[in-house]
């Protein structure tokens, strides 16, 4: 089987953890490395958590620590008060904790090379056959593009969990990953590489249910049981602060990006559109402005945007992947 070469960029994070486990246990993917970034928590936490997931699966994948701060959004009064993130204004506050408590502390360290250098060196040395799955703020790739813009031409595809059309989660129309570092998102979406954007519109329609958690428990691998714990925690958190279509459902956003790298048909209602990012500092700060009707005739359609997803297919893919792990 031809394995698809991917690099993950994460801010682990409960849903990032499920995404990483699914990627590492999917034979369709060859994970070349995992980059970490400031997001759900400060990069020291997201790196430790990523190492925990890697060690939990006995994986040898290299982990590269990335950017500790967004590009500029923390510099301007009234924008990002708590950077790196420590405070209570993350909409997902009650679905992540500082550490992934169901996994032992990491014994290994990240690579000596930082994530930005790893991205540049790996992409420049490649034949243009590497895709990036980005499920945190886009700071690492934006910095890499500023240092070496030629990497854009070397990227096969960017699969990004981020953005929102109908509803945001940190502001009425802004989604967390884009909102943390909107300038980085603007640089990445406009870089010229093919982009598949997976906004909340898709992830909220592909939730995991309490029954799915029971099924994951029954599969009986370390990974499936850990995923069930994360998903249950998320279902409970969402029920309290951001109810989904059903009270026993919760989104595990980031795993949808990994599934899309394996089988793009898991995404539904995918349209090639122009997506801009607002970074003016007002209520639309961090909003993905998705030109669904093509009002801007001059703008280059820079993203394939998924507005929906196949919930049943996603859940089946994740169960199949996690079933390959070590028995508990
Ligand atoms: C995104 O924000 C983070 O909290 C999650 O890990 C996900 O990547 C959803 O808005
Ligand atoms: Ca994430």
* DSSP string covering 102-128: TSPPP-S---SS-HHHHHHHHHHTS-S
Q: Which of 2, 9, 11, 201 is catalytic?
A: 11
The conformation of residue 9, written as its DSSP 8-state character, comes to E
**Quick one: residue 297, left, alpha or beta (phi over 0 = left, psi -120 to 50 = alpha)?**
alpha
Distance CA 120, CA 111 (A): 15
Q: pLDDT class for 80, splitting at 50, 70, 90?
A: confident
Best residue for ligand 1 mutational test, from 40, 173, 179, 181 (most atoms within 8 Å of Cβ) = 40
Ligand nearest to the CA of 92: 1
What's the mean pLDDT when you consider all of the chain? 95
Q: pLDDT class for 93, splitting at 50, 70, 90?
A: low
In this predicted model, which residue has the larger pLDDT, 242 or 202? 202
**Quick one: residue 244, left, alpha or beta (phi over 0 = left, psi -120 to 50 = alpha)?**
beta
What percentage of the chain has pLDDT greater than the value 70? Answer: 97
pLDDT score, position 98: 86
Distance CA 155, CA 129 (A): 7
The conformation of residue 3, written as its DSSP 8-state character, comes to P
Residue 167 CA to ligand 1 center (angstroms) comes to 14
Find out whether 271 and 304 touch, Cβ atoms under 8 Å: yes
Task: Look up tokens 């997803």; give the residue.
Answer: 309
Average pLDDT over residues 199-216: 98
Burial level of 263, CB count in 10 A (0-12/13-18/19+)? middle
Q: Reply yes or no on whether 269 is catalytic.
A: no
Average pLDDT over residues 135-149: 98
- Hey, what are 158's tokens? 């960017």
Question: Which residues does ligand 1 sit against, CB inside 6 Å?
Answer: 13, 15-16, 40, 92, 135-136, 161, 169, 175-177, 253-254
pLDDT score, position 96: 81
The partner residues of 5 in beta bridges, in order of sequence, read 30, 130
The conformation of residue 251, written as its DSSP 8-state character, comes to -
Residue 10 CA to ligand 1 center (angstroms) comes to 10
Q: Which atom from ligand 1 is nearest to the alpha carbon of 96?
A: 4
Distance CA 57, CA 326 (A): 8
149: pLDDT strictly greater than 90: yes
Residue 108 CA to ligand 1 center (angstroms) comes to 25
- Hey, what are 225's tokens? 């049981």
């Amino acid at each position: 089987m031809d394995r698809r070469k991917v690099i993950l960029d994460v801010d682990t994070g409960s849903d990032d953890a499920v995404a990483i486990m699914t990627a590492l246990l999917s034979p369709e993917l060859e994970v070349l490395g995992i980059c970490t970034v400031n997001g759900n928590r400060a990069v020291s936490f997201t790196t430790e958590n990523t190492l925990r997931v890697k060690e939990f699966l006995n994986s040898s994948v290299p982990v590269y620590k990335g950017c500790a701060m967004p590009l500029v959004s923390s510099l301007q009064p009234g924008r990002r008060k708590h950077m790196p993130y420590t405070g209570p204004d993350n909409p997902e506050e009650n679905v992540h904790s500082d550490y992934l408590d169901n996994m032992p502390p990491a014994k290994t360290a990240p690579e000596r090379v930082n994530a930005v250098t790893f991205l540049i060196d790996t992409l420049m040395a490649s034949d243009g056959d590497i895709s990036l799955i980005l499920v945190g703020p886009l700071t690492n790739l934006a910095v890499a593009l500023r240092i070496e813009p030629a990497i854009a031409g070397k990227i096969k595809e960017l699969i990004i969990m981020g953005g929102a059309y109908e509803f945001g989660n940190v502001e009425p129309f802004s989604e967390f990953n884009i909102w943390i570092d909107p300038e980085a998102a603007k640089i990445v979406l406009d870089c010229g590489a093919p982009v598949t954007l997976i906004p909340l519109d898709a992830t909220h329609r592909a939730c995991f249910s309490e029954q799915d958690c029971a099924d994951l428990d029954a599969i009986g691998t370390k990974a499936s049981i850990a995923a069930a714990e994360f998903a249950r925690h998320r279902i409970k958190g969402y029920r309290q602060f951001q109810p989904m279509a059903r009270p026993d459902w919760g989104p595990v956003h980031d795993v949808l990006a990994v599934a899309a790298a394996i089988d793009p048909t898991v995404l539904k209602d995918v349209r090639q559109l122009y997506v801009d990012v607002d970074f003016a500092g007002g209520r639309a700060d961090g909003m993905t402005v998705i030109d669904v009707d093509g009002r801007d005739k001059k703008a280059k359609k820079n993203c394939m945007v998924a507005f929906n997803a196949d919930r049943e297919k996603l859940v089946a893919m994740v169960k199949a992947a996690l079933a390959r792990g070590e028995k508990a």
